[in-house]
């Protein structure tokens, strides 16, 4: 388990929407 921060860092995420997308993506991973 764990969160892949590397892939997230590759795509700059800003705003609340970005956080939501990150959470959804993390759950799928």
Q: How far apart are CA 13 and CA 19, in angstroms?
A: 7
| Count of structural domains, the chain | 1
Q: What is the pLDDT of residue 25?
A: 67
Total number of residues shown for the chain: 29
Taking all residues of the chain, what is their mean pLDDT, rounded to a whole number?
61
Q: How far apart are CA 25 and CA 22, in angstroms?
A: 5
Q: What is the pLDDT of residue 11?
A: 55
Range of the domain at 23: 1-29
Answer yes or no: pTM beyond 0.85: no
């Amino acid at each position: 388990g764990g969160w892949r921060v590397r892939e997230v860092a590759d795509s700059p995420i800003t705003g609340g929407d970005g956080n939501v997308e990150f959470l959804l993506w993390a759950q799928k991973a």
